[in-house]
Amino acid sequence: MEKAASLLSSLLLGGGESPEPAAVVKSIFIYPIKSCKGISVPQAPITATGFRWDRQWMVVNSKGRAYTQRVEPRLALVEVEMPPEAFAEDWRERALTWRSTPDAHMVIRAPGMGPLKIPLVAERATVDDISVWEWSGSAYDEGAEAAEWFSTFFGIPTRLVRFKEVLETRLTDPDYSQGYKTMFSDGFPFLIASQGSLDALNEILKEPIPMNRFRPNILVDRCHPYSEDLWKTIKINKLTFLGVKLCGRCKVPRINQDNGIPSTTEPTETLLTFRSDEVLRPSHKNKRQVYFGQNLVCKESLSANGNGRIIRVGDAVYVLQSFSSSDEVPA
Q: Which residue has the higher pLDDT, 289 or 8?
A: 289
For residues 242 and 53, the answer to whether their CB atoms sit within 8 Å is no
User: Is 304's pLDDT higher than 70?
Assistant: no
Whole-model pTM? 0.92
- Cα separation of 299 and 235, whole Å? 10
> 306 falls in which pLDDT band (50, 70, 90)?
low
User: Is 239's pLDDT higher than 50?
Assistant: yes
Nearest to 297 by CA among 249, 237, 232: 232
User: Is 276's pLDDT higher than 70?
Assistant: yes
User: Is 268's pLDDT higher than 70?
Assistant: yes
Nearest to 115 by CA among 72, 151, 149, 77: 149
- What average pLDDT does this structure show over 124-149? 97
- How much is the pLDDT for 286? 87
For residues 49 and 73, the answer to whether their CB atoms sit within 8 Å is no
For residues 256 and 263, the answer to whether their CB atoms sit within 8 Å is yes
> 14 falls in which pLDDT band (50, 70, 90)?
very low
Number of domains in the chain: 1
Helix H or strand E encompassing 8: helix 2-13
Span 20-49, pLDDT tens digits: 999 999 999 999 999 999 999 999 999 999
User: Is 7's pLDDT higher than 50?
Assistant: no
> 1 falls in which pLDDT band (50, 70, 90)?
very low
CA 172 to the chain's CA centroid: 14
> 19 falls in which pLDDT band (50, 70, 90)?
confident
Full domain range(s) for residue 282: 2-328
> 9 falls in which pLDDT band (50, 70, 90)?
very low
- Cα separation of 115 and 174, whole Å? 40
For residues 31 and 7, the answer to whether their CB atoms sit within 8 Å is no
Q: Which residues, including other chains, have CB under 8 Å from residue 15's CB and lie 6 or more apart?
A: 235, 240, 318, 320
Span 168-217, pLDDT tens digits: 999 999 999 999 999 999 999 999 999 999 999 999 999 999 999 999 99
